[in-house]
A and B are shown apart, each in its own frame.
Chain A
């Protein structure tokens, strides 16, 4: 059974300027042990999708509807608060972009990791603290015995992100959801954290959902990709095929706009215009105002996410389905 199953998820927020539709019919699933990348730009709905899955959004103003919103066999829409807390940490744990705001500045690192453990498991405080040391060692923090007594401000951004990963691992989740875990970090530290996440994923066999705007992070870490734009899924497929033969014009444009792919000073391939405003999404395909292939129909018809190639889905009426090989 799929670990994560999302079908036709909608998330909106009522604000003074009206209804902001952050997620407009997102569907995907994750099998146990699989690694999935969710790539999108700001406002694409990538973070909101995963926050909705864990029911981390305040409702209201958020309003969540879906045909299916399953996590580890739990129906997250029907679940009572107690069940939701049991799922968080044990089934799925999340690592966020900014570790400094995720940690409490007045408690030690060890205290905060131990707190997570005692909240989910019947162990003593001392045992939890010992386990915290072991977890810090696992995320390759060298002087773990000392670091448990440190306060967050005594650690660098990269070290703090390791602490967050240790905390996420503390209840041995079946899936780790990492939301832009390296965006605030320097490039060399980013590479180290990504390698650590991959190593741990392989070692524990847990599932991984990597949320990022950075196609490089996707190329480095995951097996399968969901491309989001304007709150909708544009394309899904295996990572190699997404990079080598993207189906959707948005995916193609995104890949072409990555700078520095070849040597020499050069103009970059840009995508004209800006991402849609989630308060006033365009009718039809959300990408049509920026799409070089758009025709009149794209302005009216919302393209369904359908199989175009062997196991690959795309939401674009301009992509002809190939004869799917038997």
Chain B
């Protein structure tokens, strides 16, 4: 197996007594899109920040293209930052209102001492065009743009250093429906053209379905299920994943239905159970705590493994 673009091993982040992210394993293979989904408080954004080393972990490891960057100082980390970049949800807050778009997009080049001033200007212009903005936008300011255009600028700034890994944290959540598709297509196109690997953090399962190769579902800081995207949508195993999928509004008014909602306790009570013989690899048996077990087809689910069915 080739070295993954990004790997988190047993990554944990505690804030006081609360584990926001609890022993999460995550792999983003090269040239693929892994979606991290969950609701507010699930730890998905914190996981993204840990991967980017914008937040220090309590324990666990972050591997960037096979290299352990968990304990590197900010100075030592700098060259690695060229390889992994980020786009956030709020494009307004992410762009300095006092800088022109040309300056914003070219700034990473300056920080890393790449090129002359003229070359940097040329490159940032080229990147503005690459993300679908006219080169003349280089002299404009963020407030002159629409939300979708600002998000394009964020993408250009993230990729100008030639990053191979992009962490995108809800990049389309603040956008209008008609513009959302534009940004999803832009990310998809760049991902294919540049061979990008992407960690796509989102609560929007519809976008995830069109964009991701694999889906990782988080609940209260834990990964409860992960599988190739089509399998998640066709054959989700964990009650929480099922609840998430069931809650997505239909776009067929004739398919309206009453839903039943499970409380958090009911979801916990419905944690899948397996007999060791049902699983290929035999993990810890008869522990009360659920663990991630492997099913067929690269499908993992948090489950309880027991010899006998426990009442």
Contacts and interface: CB of A to CB of B under 8 A. Distances in A.
Interface of A: 41-42, 186-192, 194-195, 213-220, 239-240, 243, 253-255, 257-261, 263-272, 274-275, 290
B248 A258 contact: no
A267 B207 CA distance: 11
Given A190-B247, A260-B209, A274-B148, A213 B176 contact: yes
Given A187-B203, A187-B244, A275-B146, A214 B178 contact: no
B258 A195 contact: yes
A19 B131 CA distance: 32
B10 interface: no
B235 to A, nearest CB: 12
B250 A265 contact: no
A270 B181 contact: yes
A186 B220 CA distance: 14
B275 to A, nearest CB: 30
B210 A260 contact: yes
B207 A259 contact: yes
A4 to B, nearest CB: 22
Contacts of A213: 176-177
A270 B146 CA distance: 16
Contacts of B244: 187-188
Given A187-B203, A260-B209, A265-B211, A217 B181 contact: no
A275 B181 contact: no
Given A260-B207, A265-B212, A186 B249 contact: no
Contacts of A195: 258-259
A267 B188 contact: yes
B252 interface: yes
Contacts of A290: 178
**Interface footprint category on B:** 35 or more
Contacts of B212: 265
A268 B250 contact: no
A133 to B, nearest CB: 22
Contacts of B250: 216, 219-220
Given A191-B259, A219-B256, A263-B234, A269 B181 contact: yes
Contact of B251 (A41, A190, A219, A264): A219
B174 to A, nearest CB: 10
B206 interface: yes
Given A213-B176, A254-B178, A265-B212, A188 B247 contact: yes
B230 A263 contact: yes
Contacts of A268: 181, 184-185, 210
Contacts of B206: 258-261
A207 B286 CA distance: 55
A214 B176 contact: no
B271 interface: no
B237 interface: no
A215 B177 contact: yes
Contact of A191 (B181, B205, B249): B249
B182 interface: yes
